[in-house]
Amino acid sequence: MTNLIKMDTLWELVEARAEATPEGLFGHDESDRQMTFAQYRDAAERLAAALAARGVREDSAVSWILPTSFNALVLLAALSRLGAVQNPILPIYRGREVSHCLRQTGAQLLIVIDEFRGFDYAAMANELAGKIEELDVLVAPNEPWESQLPQATAKLLPAPTAGEKVRWVFYTSGTTSEPKGARHTDKGFLAASYGLAAAMDLSPSDRVGLVFPVTHLGGVNSLVAALSTGASHLIVERFDPPTTIPFLRKHGVTHAGAGTAFHRVYLEAQRQQGEVPIFPEIRVFQGGGAPKPPPLHHALKQECGAGILSVYGMTECPILALGRIDDPDEQLADTEGRLNLPESELKIVKSDGSLAGVGEEGELRIRAPQLFLGYVDESLDAAAFDEEGFYHTEDLGFIDERGCITISGRLKDVIIRKGENISAQEVEDLLSEHPKLADAAVIGVPDEVRGEMVCAVVVPRDAAEPLALAELVEYLRDKELMLQKIPERIEFVEALPRNPSGKVLKRELRKQFGEKG
């Protein structure tokens, strides 16, 4: 890995990278557009001047909704140049959720693309502006901005250098409840991202596939990791396997993200293509956001030439733990790796409130440099932290003698059948290996006798040959799964509903199939 450039703010990092390798490739997109690091800095500076003329200052609250593109990445840096508090919003959000974000953050400006994937964001933004007092709206066409910006005529104020100030508000994906806004600093984000760069062994010769929404906090982490090392991004506005995979292959992707759902697509594409590798230069499939079935790592390693580097974190604490590119396969397949930063503190608390020992399961609680500073709605903070200031991840897991973390389930993803606690993830991991299944989720549905019944919601690999319930039961019995954990009901779907980070929206599945029972 090349030497890391480390700074306290994102804008300082943008400037330092442009100074160090001005002609280095910052990014390449599907339209064959390219940008150097120097061009990236200059475009962001010009956009910052235009936004300043519109009234954006240090600490201004700015929300924005753009697809993954050069425009989004330039905007992100421009707002950092000004020291605004920016709130990137996932493009899947609609009026209700966007209004929630705008009102909570007190946004003064909302920046949106005009139209994307058949949805009129301009109309939504203007409608919200009519309801929210003093909200300004900027609608940006989906074409290169820097060609439209005049040269700055007014000198910008010096860029803020306080890395400890709140500069970001990211909202949770809303898998279980109303989105919650997490407040973050540059310093925390950058620290976590430097650990990511080291774990992925990035260098200027690497090409990182940016295939998920850049408005997700993982987009910022990936950007910082590349800026700190001089690596480049292959920028994908909309992940579509027939076009995305050839694009990544053509430009020599070395790090293909960005989570289990994407990795399954790559594996299936490789199987369809045969022995010729879909990604000849691949070094690792990095990603997180959703559970990783251990067999998936081994299958990718064997068939695609590289395995999975897990990145474990959450909106409140990005990149809490991760694997390293040179970790042994067994460790990469079965664990989420070790804590990202040496200053991080982890404790695992058992259901009786006592601390767990090595190999004992409990809830993971964390204090770390990249931990958020609290929610925008401060009333949520009391329940989020324990008496020692550790954040409740609500993830169940354990740590082994190597310091590696294994996630075994969720506090809220436990099915209670006749008083017996059943980990949905344990059953899902076994189902992921079944040759007739392309995808699977396990949920609890209401049942008068059992309290909850275990229900498998599956995507058949071949719709003409679905997996029968009797086959599923026999398969799991052969895996020596205890009888109480074996699903008593099976439902078929064309695809599992997922949020942009790849997590299955079990709330939707429970609503759909819980009401059928």
Domains along the sequence of the chain with CATH: 414-514 (3.30.300.30)
**Angle at the Cα of 81 from the Cα atoms of 79 and 87, rounded to 5 degrees:** 25
Mean pLDDT (the chain) is 93
d(CA 331, CA 402): 10
- Residue 120: its pLDDT value, please? 95
Residue among 239, 238, 214 at smallest CA distance from 226: 214
Which pair of structure tokens corresponds to residue 194? 């430097």
- Residues 247-263, buried b or exposed e (16+ Cβ, 10 A)? bbbebbbbbbbbbbbbb
CA of 35: how far to CAs of 29, 41, 205, in Å? 9, 10, 15
- Residue 192: its pLDDT value, please? 97
DSSP-assigned letter for residue 435: T
For residues 179-202, average pLDDT: 96
Amino acid 484 reads Q
Burial class (CB within 10 angstroms; exposed 0-12, middle 13-18, buried 19+) of 514? middle
Taking residue 32's Cβ as centre, other Cβ atoms within 10 Å add up to: 9
**Could you give the percent of the chain with pLDDT greater than 70?**
96
For 448-466, the pLDDT digits (tens) are 778 789 999 999 999 999 9
For residues 271-297, average pLDDT: 92
Residue among 481, 501, 505, 489 at smallest CA distance from 426: 481
- Residue 152: its pLDDT value, please? 56
Q: CB under 8 Å to 263, separation ≥6 — which residues?
A: 285, 287, 292, 296, 300, 308
- Residue 517: its pLDDT value, please? 47
User: Please, how many CA atoms are within 13 Å of residue 84, restricted to the half-sphere of its CB?
Assistant: 30
Helix axes 260-273, 241-250, angle to 10 degrees: 80
- Asked whether the CA dihedral 107, 113, 117, 118 is positive or negative, the reply is positive
Q: Reading across the β-sheet that carries 489-492, which strands appear in turn?
A: 437-447, 451-460, 489-492
For residues 68-86, average pLDDT: 97
3-class DSSP state of 427 = helix
Model confidence at 482, pLDDT cuts 50, 70, 90, reads: confident
177 alpha-carbon distance from chain centroid: 18
What are residue 73's phi and psi, to 5 degrees?
A: -70, -35
CA of 296: how far to CAs of 378, 433, 504, in Å? 40, 8, 17
**Angle at the Cα of 69 from the Cα atoms of 66 and 70, rounded to 5 degrees:** 115
- pLDDT surpasses 80 at 245: yes
- pLDDT surpasses 80 at 429: yes
Residue among 298, 286, 316 at smallest CA distance from 198: 286
Identify the residue whose tokens are 């989720």.
Answer: 441
Per the CB < 8 A criterion, the answer to whether 396 and 408 are in contact is yes
Strand (E) or helix (H) holding 17: helix 10-20
Model confidence at 176, pLDDT cuts 50, 70, 90, reads: very low
Indicate the pairing of strand 207-210 with strand 255-256: parallel
- pLDDT surpasses 90 at 515: no
- pLDDT surpasses 80 at 1: no
Q: What is the pTM of this model?
A: 0.87
Amino acid 333 reads A
Residue by residue, DSSP assigns 125-187 as HHHHHTTSTT-EEEEE-SS-STTTPPPP-SPPPPPP--TTSEEEEEE---SSSS--EEEEEHH
For residues 416-437, average pLDDT: 86
Residue by residue, DSSP assigns 361-424 as -EEEEEE-TTS---BSSGGGHHHHB-TTS-EEEEEEEEE-TTS-EEEEEETTSEEEETTEEEEH
Taking residue 355's Cβ as centre, other Cβ atoms within 10 Å add up to: 11
For residues 185-208, average pLDDT: 97
For residues 109-131, average pLDDT: 96
More confident residue, 47 or 421: 47
Q: Which of 74-83, 93-102, 288-297, 387-396 has the lowest mean pLDDT?
A: 288-297
What are residue 380's phi and psi, to 5 degrees?
A: -85, -15
End-to-end CA distance of the chain: give it in Å, rounded.
Answer: 54
- pLDDT surpasses 80 at 147: no
- pLDDT surpasses 90 at 149: no
3-class DSSP state of 41 = helix
- pLDDT surpasses 80 at 270: yes
CA of 266: how far to CAs of 43, 132, 210, 297, in Å? 34, 43, 14, 12
For residues 296-316, average pLDDT: 96
**Angle at the Cα of 255 from the Cα atoms of 47 and 321, rounded to 5 degrees:** 90
Model confidence at 58, pLDDT cuts 50, 70, 90, reads: very high
What are residue 324's phi and psi, to 5 degrees?
A: -115, 150
More confident residue, 344 or 422: 344
- pLDDT surpasses 70 at 151: no
- Residues 473-496, buried b or exposed e (16+ Cβ, 10 A)? bebbeeeebeeebbbbbbbeeeeb
- Residue 423: its pLDDT value, please? 81
For residues 49-78, average pLDDT: 96
Taking residue 281's Cβ as centre, other Cβ atoms within 10 Å add up to: 18
Residue among 50, 9, 23 at smallest CA distance from 147: 50
CA of 244: how far to CAs of 24, 68, 195, 498, 505, in Å? 23, 13, 27, 19, 24
Model confidence at 175, pLDDT cuts 50, 70, 90, reads: very low
Model confidence at 144, pLDDT cuts 50, 70, 90, reads: confident
Model confidence at 150, pLDDT cuts 50, 70, 90, reads: low
